[in-house]
Amino acid sequence: MAERSTAAVDVADNSGDEPLTAKADAATTDGTAQTQDEEGASSQDDAAVRDSSDAVPASPDLHSGHKLARRYRLEECITRLDGFSSWRAVDEKLRRAVGVHLLPADHPRARSVLAAARSSALLGDPRFVQVLDAVEEDDLVYVVHEWLPDATELTALLAAGPLEAHDAYQLVSQISQAMAAAHREGLAHLRLTPGAVLRSSTGQYRIRGLAVNAALRGITADQPLRTDTEAIGALLYAALTRRWPYESDAYGLSGLPKDLGLIPADQVRAGVHRGLSELAMRALANDGATASRQEQPCTTPDELAKAVAAMPRVLPPEPAFTAPPEYQRTTYQQGTYGRPSARPASVTQPVITVPPPPLQSRTGKALKWAVSALLIAALGLGSWQLAETVLDQGNDSGEPVPTRTTEDGDDNNAAEPSKPVTIVGAEDYDPLGDGSEKPASTANAYDGDPSSVWNTDGYYTAAFGNLKEGVGIVLDLGKVQEVGNVDVSFLGNTSVELRTTDGSSIPQAPGGFTSVAQGSGTKVSLKPDKPVRARYVLVWLTKLPLSNDDGRYRGKVADIKITS
């Protein structure tokens, strides 16, 4: 497959078919590329049935610059096969890039494509590339969908090598949960290949072509749940090994050795995570193949998502420590700054350093004035105390001498000033989502530098895309101690809760913490009604501001300070 500069460029071609640019030499006289499906590309193709009984008309002969609905201007043809074409286009009304699938209205699959696109649009799940429009107009049927220029295809990621265990864990977790949600709404994918999975710059995985890609190619399946589940297993297997789990090569990946059958991923490549290897086998379980511990196969995305959730969480790798460069003293620190160059080595004369007269320098004069001021202050304080003692002894009336008190009348019980509480560590907290929320930058939240921030992933609504109640960051105080006030600085107006626990470990769910304060704004002071004692402090974000960077809602914590 010809590589392209971004994943979004190849957004229409996620089936393993070569893009138009890779087929220029094989194009027919009308400019339509010949259809070439890779043999053995995935096991779901074995279970799927391609409807090719009807003659397929030629794809519409359109050109760059053509406008649809006086709004969508076609820019670049990405794919042309099976009587349809896919384009990169511009939505001139909203001034954004979009993708467009085009096919003639008399195409035998036109009705099913429209139905699939409209059903996918109604799902509205941000984990899928969204269908924006589905229209029949002027003898054309076209489907408009999102364009993600900052995302990278899984195909391109695997071209660089296998994924880390944490990335593979996030892949199977997010994809299985998304497909489980789609199947609950009666939608299947049936073409879930490495080209159909994108990873955004925030680390979220997105699925494109839900229902639409299969409808464009006339693909159906007797067991759509099993087909999509096995496809997810194949993606996980490829992510762990950089090998396609079948004998045939596909999607730029080598297949398994001949006559060995389906062997576990940890037997293909050393160092593969054992639990993820077994999970891939459970999803791929077919024709008697099972995981090494003989668990039951996962036959639906929901079963697979539950199996992932039951696994111990796979943590990201520790960042590599880079030793700072060896400290070198400057010439100024070595005492040679501004001195004349050394004399030749042959001339050696002893250097006699004559100290200056005592206290004649500028520093000495300042020291003399400081000592004089201290002596005068000490004499004044001693005189005042002596006078007070004499007055106390000469007081024969027996009346008590009044003393100065604080406003509450109790000099000894005055409240001690608050003291800063040291934060010894922090980690991201996303138990209601994929389990990870920018863990690499959590230290930015309490490093004392407002210019460095810890930010959340990007979401389509302020309420986390209606996917979960919130995310946060857990601060470790090292031991149970008093927490009197937590000051949080945000970039953008953010709603937040303060939750605490005095337990010895971090609770698995937000309900394990006790909510003690809440607020909203850019600088929020979270003060409990009464001082609490805690070791772990959760700053729990419940509503996010709109980010100017990419038009998504994203929480950004610039600084956190805790006082007793």
Provide the pLDDT for residue 295.
Answer: 76
* 352 or 200, which is more confident: 200
Most confident of 35-39, 54-58, 162-166, 440-444: 162-166
For the segment 268-293, the average pLDDT, to the nearest whole number, is 80
CA dihedral 165, 171, 176, 177 (to 10 degrees): 110
Of 415 and 61, which is predicted with more confidence? 61
pTM for the full predicted model? 0.53
Q: Is residue 440 helix, strand or coil?
A: helix
pLDDT at residue 306 in the model? 95
Strand order in the sheet with 140-146: 67-68, 72-81, 84-91, 96-104, 140-146, 131-137
> In this predicted structure, what is the pLDDT of residue 358?
55
Residue 351 has pLDDT above 70, yes or no: no
Of the pLDDT bands very low, low, confident and very high (cuts 50, 70, 90), residue 177 is very high
How many beta carbons lie within 10 A of that of residue 366, not counting itself?
11
Mean confidence (pLDDT) of the chain:
80
Percent of the chain with pLDDT over 90: 52
Instruction: Decide if pLDDT at 260 tops 70.
Output: yes
**Is pLDDT of 379 > 90?**
no
pLDDT exceeds 60 at position 453? yes
The answer on pLDDT for 546 being more than 80 is: yes
Asked if the model's pLDDT at residue 470 lies above 50, the reply is: yes
Per-residue confidence (pLDDT) for residue 191, from 0 to 100? 96
Q: How far apart are CA 226 and CA 154, in angstroms?
A: 22
Q: What is the pLDDT of residue 327?
A: 60
pLDDT for the residue numbered 330: 56
Instruction: Name the range with the highest mean pLDDT among 142-156, 340-354, 505-519.
Output: 142-156
For residue 533, give Cα distances in angstroms to 152, 280, 503.
46, 45, 10
Q: Residue range 478-502: average pLDDT?
A: 93
Say yes or no to pLDDT of 66 above 70. Answer: yes
- Asked if the model's pLDDT at residue 12 lies above 70, the reply is no
Least confident residue range of 77-86, 225-234, 461-470, 488-497: 461-470
- Does residue 67 sit in helix, strand or coil? strand
Q: Poorest-confidence range of 18-32, 141-155, 524-538?
A: 18-32
For residue 328, name the pLDDT band (cuts at 50, 70, 90): low
- At 33 the pLDDT is 34
Q: What is the DSSP string of 16-37?
A: SPPPGGGGGGG--TTSPPPP-P
pLDDT at 531: 82
Task: Supply 211's token pair.
Answer: 């229902």
The whole-number pLDDT of residue 385 equals 72
Least confident residue range of 7-11, 40-44, 180-184, 459-463:
7-11
pLDDT at residue 561, as a whole number: 93
pLDDT band at 2 (very low <50, low <70, confident <90, very high): very low
Residue 106: pLDDT band (50, 70, 90) is very high
Burial-class residue 12 by CB neighbours within 10 Å (0-12, 13-18, 19+).
buried
Q: Tokens at residue 129, please? A: 């590339």
pLDDT of res. 390: 60
Residue 262: per-residue pLDDT: 87
The arithmetic mean of pLDDT across residues 407-422, rounded, is 61
Strand partners for 128: 207
pLDDT of 10 > 70? The answer is: no
What does the pLDDT read at residue 521? Answer: 94
Tell me which range, 31-45, 395-409, 515-529, is most confidently predicted by mean pLDDT. 515-529
Q: Which residue has the higher pLDDT, 7 or 553?
A: 553
Name the percent of the chain in helix, strand, coil, to the closest 5. Answer: 25, 25, 50
Give the residues across from 153 on adjacent strands: 198
Asked if 36 and 57 touch (Cβ cutoff 8 Å), the reply is no
- The pairing of beta strand 454-455 with beta strand 471-483: unpaired
Q: Of 47-61, 154-168, 381-395, 473-487, where does mean pLDDT reach its minimum? A: 47-61
